[in-house]
Amino acid sequence: MLSNLELLKQRIANLEAEKDELKGENAELKNENAKLKRIIEENARCDAENAEHKVRIEELEKNSANISAENAELKAELAKLRHDFDSSNLTRPQQPQHVTNVQNSCSVEEDISSAKPERCFASNDIPDLVID
């Protein structure tokens, strides 16, 4: 039989081996915890960015809706103006589409290189305003 001293020495050796094993596991767990903390921090940054992006998307969607509504209003106004213009042209007598004396409506004597160009139109030869 083993003496008490030998049993105690064996027990100490077993406990030291278990302690070394636990130290190794502890080191692994610390490394895993550090990785998880980094992942949690990265997730928090991503969550904050996502929240900012959601707010930005909502703003852009509101702006898009406002612009669409404004475009619809402008299209309706343009259609009404065209209708009114066409109606007013139908009710007044038609005038000739050409100008017989261009020199009376535009000054030929102006120096073209120094003056701003002017457009001369017949009275009902006004171009349509184009709105995109």
Q: Is the pLDDT of residue 100 over 60?
A: no
Residue 129 CA to residue 132 CA, distance in Å, equals: 10
Contact between 106 and 79 (Cβ < 8 Å): no
Report which residue type is found at 41. E
pLDDT at 98 (0 to 100): 55
pLDDT at 91 (0 to 100): 73
Q: Is the pLDDT of residue 103 over 70?
A: no
pLDDT band at 126 (very low <50, low <70, confident <90, very high): low
Residue (of 87, 102, 97) closest to 124 by Cα position? 97
pLDDT band at 89 (very low <50, low <70, confident <90, very high): confident
Residue 88 CA to residue 120 CA, distance in Å, equals: 22
Q: Which residues of 17-29 are buried (b: 16+ CB within 10 A; e: fewer)?
A: eeeeeeeeeeeee
pLDDT band at 94 (very low <50, low <70, confident <90, very high): low
Q: Is the pLDDT of residue 110 over 50?
A: no
Residue 65 CA to residue 76 CA, distance in Å, equals: 17
N residues, the chain: 132
